[in-house]
Chain A
Amino acid sequence: MTLLQKFLSASAVVALSAGTALADPAIIFDLGGKFDKSFNESAFNGATRWAEETGGTFREIELQSDAQREQALRRFAESGSNPIVMAGFAFGSALDEVAGDYPDTSFVIIDMVVDKPNVRSVVFNEHEGSYLVGYMAAQASKNNTVGFIGGMDIPLIRKFACGYAQGAKAANPDTKVIANMTGTTGAAWNDPVKGGELTRAQISQGADVVYAAAGGTGLGVLQTAADEGILSVGVDSNQNYLHPGKVLTSMLKRVDNAVYQAMIDGPGLETGFSVMGLANDGVGYAMDENNADLVSDKMQATVEAIKGKIVNGEISVHDYTSDESCPALTF
């Protein structure tokens, strides 16, 4: 066998193995990292659930910088991965750029709307879930003061804050809502020290339930709340277990369901707009043995009633992103 033949056969093997990777789904995690105990971890859980149930494999990458977004997308698309799921609003512009170049690949973007024929845009009604936890927070608050700590100051996080404030005011119109944002850059998702300090500042203003929608920063919020003996509300994943008996509940955002569904649907999935709300269990609040003592039966019954009213349209929760304003809170 000549050297040339060796090379040819080697490249044939490579081509074949690339062929087997065809149509494996891929998932791209955002800067917070796969195990952020929050948003990305939820996405990872959905993908893992799919892999366990179907025996399939998926490709994944955790981004280290903003500059990698388009590169990672193109790499997966070139190598034949399909569908490609990306967890995070920040992929919007990169996907807008890339989607047209790979018309046969299906893309799924979570938390952002990209209007391309081969893209499914999954958005969550976070304001509805936040409304429920806000309602619970106001009921649990003894000082009639509840706090909100957001990560990066973006419309999406304001949507959380706005729903939360509306819920708190609905439970008790006298409730004072204190809202803080950690910062205006990506670093705001990973600053637990600042999160803790913001929590202390809110406690000194009387807050006794604090809701964190801030990725890794939220870990600092929950920690400080537990240290200082007040209640906290987790976000995205069920975070009740982090400090049992100290976390009132968690606003669940079933990113895992969205990822799971996308991978089940496989290549050529139905594109367009997909809304995950209270009605289809896309958002909700977490109940388990860690917070069973904190949420009374009466409280839960009330929240369930409210949930029913939101689902059947009796209560409409204002969405901050619809008109960039919030009736219950000023930023």
Chain B
Amino acid sequence: MDYFTILQIVDSALRLATPLLFACLAGLFSERAGIFDIGLEGKMLGAAFFSAATAFATGSVWLGLLAGIGASLALSAIHGLASITFRGNQLISGVAINFLASGLTVLIGLSWFKLGGQTPALSGAARFSGVDLPFAEALSGVPLIGPIYSEVLSGHTILVYVALLCVPLSWYVLYRTRFGLRLRAVGENPAAVDTAGISVIGLRYSAILIAGVLCGLAGAYLATGLGASFVREMTAGRGFIALAALIFAKWRPWYALYATFLFGLLEAVSNRYPSVDLGFVTLPSQFMQALPYILTVVILAGFVGKAIPPRAGGQPYVKER
């Protein structure tokens, strides 16, 4: 494995980690406010469909992105209505969102495009294309550091950089602003927040709407950044992997970046080396594909320590009379 191969794998890992990172941060905001969100998958799927459909119809990827975020926000609002306003079970509401998105995207796709739930292939301005960072060409000659900049960091679609910027932004919002303090408090002890005269309902709604925007970005990235059309069930479990990464990261933004990048890296490695010959034994491709999950168990059990979720997570808030 030479230096250039490693760079290519890291480059691939960055692309694969981006949707996970968006979804993981979405889950982070939602769960920090005390709302479990297993509907990440469904929101991503809904966003992927509507972004691809709108981008195809209008020819503009930006309108597609807006439509994707809109779809994801609508699903978030349903989740909020069910689990915040009507105090329903958050897990059930999340499962319902997943089913709803899985069925609706195919149904609407069938009736709009008559392509069996797919959207037509996007091209040109209807897709996100790679952005070359400034001086990427000039710096590529610099030994060691140059290729990292020009190969790994440069040339991704704009959403990859947005995702990376979302990490410090989330950290700042959660830990350095009044809103963030209240948001975290509402996930730990909503009664105290309510006593202070701050709306628990309002805070929780704003948290899941932020999650909606982030899931919208994740879905749009899948359909219009990495891919070039919507295909049914194209999220392929990424929402659930993001949830695992969230626990892994113990609900903290920077660790979310590391955790999702680790998953991306492992997937990139298994893509590159479907089977690994260790000399005395050859690891089969099935093992390489299972590796991310095996490592999750090992690391969670052995290295991360106890992951403690926000204390009020999963409980609907009932105001005392």
CB pair A153 B286 closer than 8 Å: yes
Interface check B141, CB cutoff 8 A: no
Q: Which B226-244 residues sit within 8 Å CB-CB of chain A?
A: 226-229, 231-234, 236-237
In the assembled complex, B275 has its CB within 8 A of some CB on chain A: yes
Which residues of chain A (290-327) have a CB below 8 Å from chain B? none
- A201 interface residue, CB < 8 Å from B? yes
Is B229 touching A192 in the complex (CB atoms < 8 A)?
yes
Q: Contact: A190 with B231, CB < 8 Å?
A: yes
Least CB separation from B129: chain A residue? A227
* Contact A190-B12, Cβ < 8 Å, known A35-B116, A35-B118, A180-B271: no
Is B8 within 8 A of A187, CB to CB?
no
Q: Does B60 contact A (CB under 8 A)?
A: no
Indicate which residue in A35, A183, A205 contacts B289 across the interface (CB closer than 8 Å).
Answer: A183
Interface of chain A residues 78 through 124 with chain B (CB within 8 A)? none
B259 within 8 A of A: no
Q: How far, in whole Å, are A250 and B98 apart by their CA atoms in the complex?
A: 35
Q: Which residue of B lies closest to A222 (CB)?
A: B121
Evaluate whether A191 and B285 lie within 8 angstroms (CB atoms) in the complex, with A196-B227, A197-B15 already known: no
The distance from the CB of A184 to the nearest CB of chain B, in whole angstroms, is 6
Q: Which residues of chain B come closer than 8 Å to A262, judged between CB atoms?
A: none
Contact call A181/B116, Cβ cutoff below 8 A:
no
Determine if B234 and A193 form an interchain contact, defined as CB atoms under 8 angstroms apart: yes
- Quick check: is A198 within 8 A (CB to CB) of the other chain? yes
User: Most chain-A CB neighbours within 10 Å: which of B12, B229, B234?
Assistant: B234
What is the CA–CA distance of A108 and B8 in the complex, to the nearest angstrom?
A: 47
Chain A residues positioned under 8 Å from B289 (CB to CB): 183-184
Interface residues as binary, A191-232 with B (CB distance below 8 Å gives 1, 0 otherwise): 111101110110011000000000010011001000100000
Q: Given that A192-B227, A197-B12, A220-B227 are contacting pairs, would A35 and B115 also be in contact in the complex, using a CB cutoff of 8 Å?
A: yes
Assess the B116–A33 pair: CB atoms within 8 A: yes
- Is A192 within 8 A of B5, CB to CB? no
Is B271 a contact partner of A216 (Cβ separation < 8 A)? no
Q: Are the CB atoms of B272 and A201 closer together than 8 Å?
A: yes
What distance in Å separates the Cβ of B95 from its nearest Cβ neighbour in chain A? 15
B168 close to chain A: CB less than 8 A:
no
Distance from B265 Cβ to chain A, minimum over Cβ atoms (Å): 12
- Give A154 Cβ to nearest chain B Cβ, in Å: 12
Known contacts A193-B222, A216-B118; A181/B274 CB under 8 A: yes
Number of interface residues of B (CB under 8 A): 34
Interface residues of A in 219-267 (CB under 8 A from B): 219-220, 223, 227, 242
- Give 1 or 0 for each of B141-161: 1 = CB within 8 Å of chain A CB: 000000000000000000000
B233 contacts which of A190, A200, A201, A219 (Cβ < 8 Å)?
A190
The verdict on A197 contacting B16 (CB below 8 Å), with A190-B236, A220-B227 known, is: yes
**B268 within 8 Å of A (CB atoms):** yes
Report B-chain residues with C-beta under 8 Å of the C-beta of A62.
Answer: 116
Residue of B nearest to A220 (CB): B227
A179 at the binding interface (Cβ < 8 Å) = yes
Residues of B within 8 A of A179 (CB): 274
Tell me, yes or no, whether A273 is within 8 Å of chain B by CB.
no
Instruction: List chain A residues, Cβ under 8 A from B267.
Output: 194, 197
Closest approach, in angstroms, between the C-beta of A121 and any C-beta of chain B?
26
Q: Which residue on A lies nearest to B229, using beta carbons?
A: A219
**Shortest distance from the beta carbon of B75 to any chain A beta carbon, whole Å:** 20
A38 CA to B170 CA, complexed, in Å: 43
Whether B12 and A201, one on each chain, are in contact in the complex, defined by CB atoms closer than 8 angstroms, is yes
Known: A33-B117, A201-B268, A216-B118. A223 touches B232 (CB 8 A): no
Considering the chains assembled together, what is the distance between the CA atoms of A216 and B116 in angstroms?
11
A64: min CB distance to chain B, Å:
8
- CB neighbours of A193 from chain B (8 A): 19, 222, 226-227, 234, 236
Which one of A200, A205, A223, A330 contacts B227 once the chains associate, using CB atoms below 8 Å?
A223
Residues of B within 8 A of A201 (CB): 8, 12, 268, 271-272
Distance in angstroms from A179 CB to nearest chain B CB is 7
**Is residue A36 within 8 Å, beta carbon to beta carbon, of the partner chain?**
yes
Q: Is A69 an interface residue (CB 8 A)?
A: no
Measured between beta carbons, the chain A residues less than 8 angstroms from B121 are 219, 223, 242
B238 to chain A, nearest CB (A): 8
What's the nearest-Cβ distance from chain A to residue B298, in Å?
20
Q: Check A181 against B231 for contact (C-beta < 8 Å).
A: no
CB of A169 closer than 8 Å to a CB of B: no
CA distance A216 to B285 in the complex (A): 21
Residues of the B chain whose Cβ atoms lie less than 8 Å from the Cβ of A180: 271, 274, 285
Contact of B116 among A34, A183, A198 (CB under 8 A): A34
Q: Which residue of B lies closest to A191 (CB)?
A: B236
7 closest pairs, A vs B, by CB? A35-B116, A33-B116, A191-B236, A201-B271, A204-B8, A216-B231, A201-B272
Q: List 11 A-B contacts (CB under 8 A).
A: A36-B116, A62-B116, A180-B285, A187-B233, A190-B231, A193-B227, A197-B267, A201-B271, A204-B8, A205-B272, A223-B229
A interface residues (Cβ-Cβ under 8 A, vs B): 33-37, 41, 62, 153, 179-181, 183-184, 187, 190-194, 196-198, 200-201, 204-205, 216, 219-220, 223, 227, 242, 330-331
Residues of B within 8 A of A (CB): 5, 8, 12, 15-16, 19, 106, 114-118, 121, 222, 226-229, 231-234, 236-237, 267-268, 271-272, 274-275, 284-286, 289
In the complex, besides A37-B118, A183-B289, 13 extra interface pairs with C-beta distance below 8 angstroms are A34-B116, A179-B274, A187-B233, A190-B232, A193-B222, A193-B227, A193-B234, A201-B271, A204-B5, A220-B227, A223-B229, A227-B228, A331-B284
